[in-house]
Amino acid sequence: MAIDISKKVLIITLLIFTVLTASFTFTHNMQLSNFLELERADTFENVERVQNAVATEQSYLDYIVQNWACWDDTYQFIEDKNPEYIRVDLQNQTLSGINVNVMIFVNNSGKVVYVKSVNTSTAEEAPVPRKLLAMIEDGSLLTEGENDSISGFVLLDEDPMFIACHPILTTKYEGPSRGTLIFGRYFDDALLESFKKVTRSSLLMYRADEEMPQDFQNKIKNFSQNSDNIVVDPLNKNQIAGYFGLKDIKGDIALILRADFPRELYLHGERTLNYMYFFLLLTGLMTGVGVKFVLDKLFISRLVEVDDFVTRVRSEKDLSQRLSLEDNDELYRLSREINGMLNEIYLAEQELKAQAREKKVLLDSLNELAVFVDTELKIIWANKAALEYMNMGLEKAIGVCLKVAPGISGPLVEHLNLEEIFTTGEKKSGEYTAQDGRVWFAQAIPVPDEQGKIIGILQTCRDVTEKKEAERLLHEKQIAEIANRTKSEFLANMSHELRTPLNSIIGFSDLLYEKVYGELNEKQARAVGNISRSGKHLLNLINDILDLSKVEAGKMELDYKEFELAGKLNAIKSLLSPIADRKNIEIDIEVDKGLTHIRADEARFVQIMYNLMDNAIKFSHENGLVKVRAERKGDLVEITVKDKGIGIKEEDQCKLFKPFSQVDSFSSKTFQGTGLGLSLVKQIVNLHGGEVWFNSKIGEGSTFAFTVPIDGNNN
């Protein structure tokens, strides 16, 4: 039966046209999506202009209240309530001129000193909003210090109001603060109209405490989570809207504004794309018709002649016939190749056999087990690895049921329901652990014939024990690294957060102890001194934690410089002398004559020596001796700190260089310490490229020693 190739060309032409149509449609939709994005971006910019206009109004009010609050006349007015200040500076026209509706002066005790409310349009006095006075009574509008300020909105019964509060200071911005100056301006319809003119947009505003349209209610959830969000949504085919929220002074959403804009950009782009889309479709249709006609005329009639010849040769089995076509083109060369193909059939058959042998060699070279079974699960073929696993040859293995095959039945059958595959036609795979502890990955793939009927299953099995072990170790390593990094970051962050209030506690307790604010009795002075000492001890602990966290996080960097060794050791001795004198302990320092200067991080070197010498003094007996010796050891300087104190038990010595560890509970209570000193010493010495060691006997004292390079970091 002759092939109707003309119909096939028609189908191909229609397929090409369909693909082009799909491509055009996809491109059309993608470009339309781009126009949507452009429209959204343009709307974002327009809404940001509205936001900037509102922010400018708030900034102006913040600026005005700061100028009035930081003025010597205002500073004096809070004290003496000077009538001249009211007459000259607090006229109705003054507030109207600076666009301020409400001005309230409040002293440090929270009492209202003076209040004025005007209509900025008429410059006439107006009632003071009761809610503002109530918020002054509960402290919501009062500043708490010289650097404190309040800015935002307040939802009043009349209208929303811009609020700006500033502490009352001198013209030089110096304190102490004598109270709070409060400025307010109504966010009324007139101000909203001015925003519309400035931004050239249509604006709607609703309060969060009142009923609002559904589209505003749907957007308020977005602003509750992030008030800086701008939400853009099309209102209809011709308009698009941008929503944004404004906070009150407590940080909650107070107002929601909507700016409406025409969708000119999107509608113009949509029309242009539609014209292009239909033009391309028409062009594709006309091109397809022309191509179909040309193909029928020039190629298909000659292809039919080739088809007739091949059919005739196959039916007559006469290989002596030859095909001859006119024109020296691709079809002519095809006919020549057909003639030559008849002579190459035998060679092709031989080549196929060679390829089959190559495939067998390739499958046999695989390390994984591969077995092909029929519908009764009898082995038809197995690769070399599977045969070796069964310890038999291919001839012997063929016909053996896989379920009873020696050795291989477990990996390939035990965890896969092979009978179900013949029903479902779906491949199966999975991992399981054998009784000997080995992990296998098994896979069963159905093999259909030409009609789609499953005639067998190709099963493979790979030993993944080592891979699973490697994955487990890698996972455990990653978990450990993440845990360690999280710990270091947590300690560093917490240290910074704790240090700020501690510095304030220490500073104010020292001021009290030094009687800056007045006299203290003996009991009060002793309590304030205890606060200062405990705060400083806690600050030292936090600083040690921060240093240790920096080291563990790999963020500590050394600042190498050259300094005189003997002078630095004597300076540390002078620093510790008051502590040593309380126990009548002598500190003896000995430095080799040829050892004058070393190159290291000077501050960290002092930290190392301070910790070691402080520990030696702390754990020495009364009238004891602490010996410090520095000597050259090749390119290194070795420094030892020796005491004849209480010593360290052998079972406690393993705790010395661990963070937050002290040798026993008695020491923890008797000798104040953080348990971080020696850990930091070891980390800092290691950063310098040196080593730390010690020896100690209980009751005989301890010797701590370390080395660092004399020339430091030469790079």
Token code pair at residue 448: 């259909």
Q: How far apart are alpha carbons 456 and 337 in whole angstroms?
A: 38
3-class DSSP state of 691: strand
pTM: 0.40
Of 435, 437, 434, 417, the closest CA to residue 426 belongs to 417
Q: Which residue has the higher pLDDT, 614 or 423?
A: 614
pLDDT score, position 20: 76
Does residue 350 carry a pLDDT above 60? Answer: no
pLDDT digits (tens, 9 = 90+) for 474-532: 877 777 667 666 666 665 566 566 667 777 787 777 787 777 778 888 888 788 778 87
Q: How far apart are alpha carbons 168 and 181 in whole angstroms?
A: 6
Of 362, 361, 404, 369, the closest CA to residue 388 belongs to 369
pLDDT band, very low/low/confident/very high, at 298 (cuts 50, 70, 90) = low
Neighbours of 316 (CB within 10 A): 10
pLDDT score, position 346: 45
Domains, the chain, ranges and CATH?
71-191 (3.30.450.20), 429-556 (1.10.287.130), 558-709 (3.30.565.10)
pLDDT score, position 408: 61
Q: What is the mean pLDDT of residues 416-422?
A: 70
pLDDT score, position 660: 53
pLDDT band, very low/low/confident/very high, at 667 (cuts 50, 70, 90) = very low
Does residue 367 carry a pLDDT above 70? Answer: no
pLDDT score, position 585: 92
Helices (H) and strands (E) in the chain, counts: 20, 22
Residue 54's contacts (CB-CB under 8 Å, 6 or more residues apart) are 195, 246, 257
704 near 646, Cβ under 8 Å?
no
pLDDT digits (tens, 9 = 90+) for 130-158: 999 989 999 889 998 888 999 998 988 88
447 near 457, Cβ under 8 Å?
yes
Does residue 447 carry a pLDDT above 70? Answer: yes
Does residue 605 carry a pLDDT above 80? Answer: yes
Q: Which residue has the higher pLDDT, 715 or 635?
A: 635
Q: How far apart are alpha carbons 478 and 472 in whole angstroms?
A: 10
Residue 255's contacts (CB-CB under 8 Å, 6 or more residues apart) are 153, 155, 160, 187, 205, 206, 207, 208, 245, 246
Q: What HEC string does 591-627 produce?
A: ECCCCCEEEEEHHHHHHHHHHHHHHHHHCCCCCCEEE
Residue 97's contacts (CB-CB under 8 Å, 6 or more residues apart) are none
Please give the backbone phi and psi of residue 144, each rounded to the nearest 5 degrees, phi first: -105, -5
pLDDT band, very low/low/confident/very high, at 589 (cuts 50, 70, 90) = very high
Q: Which has the minimum average pLDDT: 406-415, 556-565, 629-638?
A: 406-415
pLDDT score, position 407: 63
Does residue 227 carry a pLDDT above 90? Answer: no
433 near 410, Cβ under 8 Å?
no
Does residue 125 carry a pLDDT above 60? Answer: yes
pLDDT band, very low/low/confident/very high, at 668 (cuts 50, 70, 90) = very low
pLDDT score, position 665: 37
Strands 179-186 and 160-167: antiparallel
Dihedral angle over CA of 146, 148, 151, 157, nearest 10: -90
Of 568, 611, 613, 563, the closest CA to residue 587 belongs to 613
3-class DSSP state of 34: helix
CA 581 to chain centre: 53
pLDDT band, very low/low/confident/very high, at 302 (cuts 50, 70, 90) = low
Token code pair at residue 476: 């455990």
Does residue 563 carry a pLDDT above 70? Answer: yes
Q: Which has the minimum average pLDDT: 92-106, 293-307, 347-361?
A: 347-361
Q: What is the mean pLDDT of residues 544-548?
A: 69
Q: What is the mean pLDDT of residues 310-326?
A: 73
